[in-house]
Amino acid sequence: MFSPSILILSLTAAPLALAQEYASTTTFEFSGSTLPTGLSASNYKVGKIPNQHEYMSNNVEVSGGFLNLKVNGGQSTDTAICSGEVVTDFTISSASVETYAILTEVPGVVNGKLISIRLSLRISSLTHPPGIFLYSSDNQETDIEWLSSPESQSNIDRGLSQALWYTNQAVVPGTPSTHETSDAPAGAFSGVHNYRIDWNSSASTFYVDGELKYQLTENVPTARDGHWLWNNWS
């Protein structure tokens, strides 16, 4: 069974010197009651019972200046776990994305409530309007994930209770991913903190509150047709 959970996320611009390396900066704000142009709610299932979750548009809510991404409480693994996700309508070939977030202590979710989003990026297609993760396929992904459950096998394998995971998923199917972990920053469950990914074809670089955490140069995604996603799931 799972309890309700909400994660707060927002994105802002990279520093000016970094932003100048990118083709554009796009800002999303949540001042109304609907998603801004350029973001869409996901509707699809991932995995198989008893490890299946389903992203549903009614688990994405814009209200009070925030975007809420929800995991319903009281669910059973006999069915898909209802979760929430938003995704860019456009594809990206490199980007610097900062997310301001209040993490949830509710166990059993992978972190939602977004304030505003600004991306410094290069887009690989101009047919669409100009993280936290880049996703093109299961083998073309870089992400920061907050694993809130001490019973998560990933946390257990590393002797962790709760942890931030910084990952490049395996480029070659069946081979290991490249990942590192850290504790959440002090006050992560009561105050806003900054989580940033800089990604290009050479490296995925991760920061928390402006402090460099890791730079991963193995299994770096090279796809130029990926989207940025923000989700909350279990």
Domain extent listing, the chain? 5-232
Cβ contact 29:39 at 8 Å: no
229: which 2 tokens?
């996603």
Q: How far is CA 103 from the centre of its chain?
A: 12
Cβ contact 226:135 at 8 Å: yes
Does the pTM surpass 0.85? The reply is no
Q: Which CATH number fits domain 5-232: 2.40.100.20, 2.60.40.4070, 2.60.120.200, 2.60.40.10?
A: 2.60.120.200
Q: List the chain pLDDT tens, one digit each, 234 residues.
A: 333 333 333 333 333 334 336 777 777 777 889 998 899 999 999 888 887 889 999 989 887 777 778 887 777 778 888 888 999 998 888 888 877 777 777 666 555 344 444 444 443 322 222 238 888 888 999 999 887 777 777 777 777 777 899 999 999 999 999 999 998 899 888 877 888 899 988 999 999 999 999 999 999 999 888 898 988 877
Closest CA relative to residue 7, chosen from 76, 78, 66? 66
Closest CA relative to residue 86, chosen from 39, 142, 136? 39
H-state helical runs in 37-129: none
Distances (CA, A) of 179 to 27, 99, 111, 221, 224: 29, 19, 17, 13, 22
Alpha-carbon torsion (142, 176, 47, 82), positive or negative: negative
